[in-house]
Structure 1
Amino acid sequence: MNTIKEKIQSILNQLPDDCSIEDIQYHLYVLEKVRQGLSVADQETTLQQEEVEGLLNKWLIE
């Protein structure tokens, strides 16, 4: 699945026949948000697991 059209077709095929327009809009919204998040992650510096755990340890009370 490379194109957005193919992704949309896949979503439509997975939804029940009696789904509403709102159901379709919701799934398209989620697809777009995930696409945007992946794009941002590719462009920006990300943290390694160990760095995140270190930051969380500072914030969490043990």
Structure 2
Amino acid sequence: MHMPRSVPVATVAINNSTNTALLAIRMLGISNTDLVSRMSQYQKDIREENMVKGKKLEQQGWES
């Protein structure tokens, strides 16, 4: 089924509530600066975690 014009549609994966919540926060952040700053901090934290994981993967290899 197609959505008519002017009806925004967002799709997220089934059983992936994290991405659904992040999408909602981005939408609500349009009018809430606190949410924008908290989302920004979350993204920085996640990036740092992933950089650490990437370095560990480079050092130890994927098999370990």
- Fold in common (TM above 0.5): no
- TM range, smaller chain: 0.3 to 0.5
More contact order relative to length (CA 8 Å, sep ≥ 6)? 1
Q: Which structure has the bigger radius of gyration?
A: 1
The TM-score normalised by the length of structure 1 is 0.44
| TM-score, scaled relative to structure 2 | 0.42
